[in-house]
Amino acid sequence: MTIEDKQQQIIDEFADIDDWMDRYSYIIDLGNALPPIDDSLKTPEHLIEGCQSRVWLDATIDNDGKMHFTADSDAIIVKGIISMLISVLNEHTPQEVLDADLHFINDIGLAENLSPTRSNGLLAMIKQMRLYALAFNSLNKK
């Protein structure tokens, strides 16, 4: 599936949930379904700067040039948000990650229903994912 297909899938899932309390519950469920990150990755180097809660993020790239993200957070809503980002960007090339317009965030109303500190954290998570993509992209061009 393309990044666009994955975003549309999330938009469609949220379209069936009207109440924001129910949407938050769904986001929490997504976070609970996120595979656990290896404890060896819960280091200061993997902490995302700019998040109020602690969020650890790591990325690898496979032999086919596809990125794989893993993450965890000590906040249940944030863990759900990073889970959505991973579901959209996982298994795509660094260039696809860099080119992605993550419009689903606005389309489902997430941005307007987050506190300012959570919004800053969301932007920091996206920035870190793109920094990983940029690093992998530069390695591929050498």
Residues identified as active-site = 51
Cross-strand pairs, 64: none
Cross-strand pairs, 61: 67
**DSSP-based three-state secondary structure for 69:** strand
d(CA 113, CA 121): 13
Indicate the DSSP class of residue 47.
Answer: B
